[in-house]
Amino acid sequence: MTEPVKTRILIADDDKDILDLLVFKLTQAGYEVVGVNDGMSALAEIEANPPRLAILDFMMAGLSGLDVLRKVRANEMTKDLDVILLTGRTGDSDVDAAFATGANDYITKPVSPRELLHRVNALLARGNK
Amino acid sequence: MSDGRLLTLILIVVGISCVLAVALIVITKIHRRSAGDKSRYLLSAYRNELIAIASDEDKDGDAKSVLNAVPMPIWERLRPSVIDFLPKVRGTAAEDLSALLRSRGEIKRATEMLTSRSGVRRARGAYLLGIVRDRNLAARLIPLLADRDPDVRIVAARSLGVIGATTAADGILQALRTTRRSVGLPAWVAVDALLGMGVGIASAIETGLTSDDAAVRNVCAQVAGHGTIFSTAPKLSILLATASEGEVRASAAMALGRVGGANEAVALARYTNSSEPAKLRRTCAVALGDLGRLESLETLVVLLGDDDRRLAQLAADSLVRFGEIGIAKLSSVAVGDTPSANAARGAIDLAKLRGQISHFVGDS
């Protein structure tokens, strides 16, 4: 008997603590989770093996989460990927920028692991309808 | 003793000192590396428990029990990791990490550190009490806003902001004052802390807008704007009209762009007049865009041709933020080779690149 295919989620954050805890949280919730610690690796992973959902840190050295999102939306193969931006900023302009660039949702740091799981579940459920 | 022998002796002493110094540096580095390796090894052994608590997945409390039972010498090495994690999470995860620190005696220890003779220890204690986010601890931190060490005052203010202790608003405003004995709290620290306290500080901010201290008025104006405290609009208008400090007037103008109405739009338009200081005019042009009142459109169009080209750019950006009607105004001006036309075209091109006006203006 084959196991059901797990939904694949990519998480990119340059803070190892945050990355580890989110990977742990979503793995415990039954998802297949890939964690990377920079924007370039996130983009490479998305293009090589597109996940169902990407959670990108807004501020990463090199390629930021917003930069990755722009490239994802500009690519015909990945433009429909669900993306949540993870940000320490709460300014309206950053939220505007996130949604204007095509983010499906955003979550502010400090992170509530429980809230994040609810949002991930909700977003994926919307996409499955 | 001859000069030659004395020189030789000095050289020998200097040589031995150098060798000892190098040996000391090497030993210290080896010791630090070994201690670091040991810490990393110990941390890796308990990392899963820490992650389980921080991710709100320690449902049965096993991880907490393990970390609660860790012997004190190991806990001493683990403590910084737990403290590092705490400001990164909120909700149940943060409560559980705080409970762990409390049960390990860290809150008690931090509270005792607040009265230490060392400023570094007082600051560390204040930091820990802040990230624990327990409002009951705010009363312990408020006296530190008057601490003799400026770094301690900063940490205390930031911690009170993280806790969201509205009772500390007056104390933070007082700490902004520079006296002969101490320099006031930096404005950005106070603004950040006060914004962290939410709407419960509205009355303190209103009172602060009439303070005799310019630093207090300036911070209150910034908080009124960023915190969108609408009740402050009348006092901000008075500040814009009467303050003698340019920075305070600019902060009041910026705030009015967020909390003002029709009357404030008229006042802001008045202060874009060429007789006013450049900084104030520019701030008012931005604030008119924030406010988005239709009666400001003509004022902004006139500013497109101003000799201050930065002011013209800001006015054009403000018109873009009006949406369709502002873009139409810009398009009507963007003809020919006048300064107004150049400013208008620049703003339209920039807005197209940002994807702000694709709905309004075609590329043809």
pLDDT of residue B364: 38
Q: What is the mean pLDDT of residues B318-333?
A: 93
pLDDT of residue B270: 95
CA angle A31, A37, A43 (to 5 degrees): 80
User: Quick check: helix, strand or coil at residue A107?
Assistant: strand
The DSSP H or E segment spanning A23 is: helix A16-28
Of B243, B242, B233, the residue nearest B265 (C-alpha): B233
Q: What is the mean pLDDT of residues B274-294?
A: 96
Contact B291, B264 (CB under 8 A): yes
For the cut 70, the answer to whether the pLDDT of residue B311 exceeds it is: yes
**Alpha carbon of B6: minimum distance to chain A alpha carbons (Å):** 59
- The torsion defined by the Cα of A93, A97, A98 and A100, in degrees rounded to 10, comes to 130
Q: To probe the interface with B, which of A14, A17, A24, A94 has the most B CB atoms within 10 Å?
A: A17
Q: Could you say which of B51, B57, B89 has the minimum Cβ distance to residue A111?
A: B89
Supply the mean pLDDT for chain B. 92
pLDDT of residue A89: 57
Using a 10 angstrom Cβ sphere, with 0-12 exposed, 13-18 middle and 19 or more buried, the burial of residue B334 is: buried
pLDDT of residue A90: 59
* B62 touches A at CB < 8 Å: no
pLDDT of residue B51: 95
Distance CA B214, CA B243 (A): 9
User: Quick check: helix, strand or coil at residue A34?
Assistant: strand
For the cut 90, the answer to whether the pLDDT of residue B82 exceeds it is: yes
Residues of chain A with pLDDT under 50: none
Q: Do B85 and A17 touch (CB under 8 A)?
A: yes
* B351 touches A at CB < 8 Å: no
- The pLDDT-based confidence of B362 (bands split at 50, 70, 90) is very low
Question: Chain B neighbours among A 52-91 (CB < 8 Å)?
Answer: none
Contact B80, B106 (CB under 8 A): no
Residues of chain B with C-beta less than 8 angstroms from the C-beta of A110? 87-90, 94
For the cut 50, the answer to whether the pLDDT of residue B70 exceeds it is: yes
Q: What is the mean pLDDT of residues B154-181?
A: 94
pLDDT of residue A1: 54
Q: What is the mean pLDDT of residues B114-122?
A: 96
pLDDT of residue B363: 45
Of A12, A37, A18, A64, the residue nearest B87 (C-alpha): A18
Question: Chain B neighbours among A 28-47 (CB < 8 Å)?
Answer: 28
pLDDT of residue B42: 73
Distance CA B316, CA B303 (A): 8
Residues of chain B with C-beta less than 8 angstroms from the C-beta of A114? 56, 91-93
Q: Do B52 and A24 touch (CB under 8 A)?
A: yes
Q: Could you tell me what percent of chain B has a pLDDT over 90? A: 82
* B162 touches A at CB < 8 Å: no
Q: Do B51 and A21 touch (CB under 8 A)?
A: yes
Which residue from A minimizes the CA distance to B196? A90
Q: To probe the interface with A, which of B40, B57, B290 has the most A CB atoms within 10 Å?
A: B57
Contact A111, B88 (CB under 8 A): yes
Q: What is the pLDDT of residues A63-98, one digit of tens each?
A: 999 999 999 999 999 999 999 999 875 566 677 788
pLDDT of residue A129: 57
Q: What is the pLDDT of residues B189-204, one digit of tens each?
A: 999 999 999 889 999 9
Q: What is the ipTM of this complex?
A: 0.90
Q: What is the pLDDT of residues B221-251, one digit of tens each?
A: 999 999 999 999 999 999 999 999 999 999 9
- The pLDDT-based confidence of B37 (bands split at 50, 70, 90) is confident
Q: Could you tell me what percent of chain B has a pLDDT over 70? A: 98
Residue A16 is classified by DSSP as H
For the cut 50, the answer to whether the pLDDT of residue B171 exceeds it is: yes
Q: What is the pLDDT of residues B14-36, one digit of tens each?
A: 999 999 999 999 998 988 887 77
Contacts of B64 (CB under 8 A, 6+ apart): B49, B53, B58, B96, B99, B100
